[in-house]
């Protein structure tokens, strides 16, 4: 799932397990464009570091 892929990548960047919490849910066949989610971590990274790191590791 998209959530699993994001958790895997963010866990790599944070060097600790990450659990992603979505702000809502989608049903099968429904897109999740602009879906908001959050996660908690002890890792300190600049916002750009999280974004660039995740984008470089996620599938296209």
Helices (H) and strands (E) in the chain, counts: 2, 2
Residue 51 pLDDT: 94
Cα 3–chain centre separation = 7
Catalytically active residues are: 27
- Walk me through the domains of the chain, giving residue ranges and CATH numbers: 2-57 (3.30.70.580)
Structure tokens at 60: 């296209």
Is a pLDDT exceeding 80 seen at residue 37?
yes
Q: How confident is the model at residue 57 (pLDDT cuts 50, 70, 90)?
A: very high
Residue 24 pLDDT: 78
The chain-wide mean pLDDT, for the chain, equals 90
- pLDDT, one tens digit per residue, over 13-30 is 999 999 999 887 777 777
């Amino acid at each position: 799932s998209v959530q699993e892929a994001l958790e895997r990548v963010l866990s790599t960047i944070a060097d600790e397990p990450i659990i992603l919490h979505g702000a809502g849910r989608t049903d099968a066949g429904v897109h999740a464009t602009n879906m908001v989610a959050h996660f908690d971590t002890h890792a300190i990274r600049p916002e750009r570091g999280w974004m660039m790191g995740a984008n470089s590791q996620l599938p296209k």
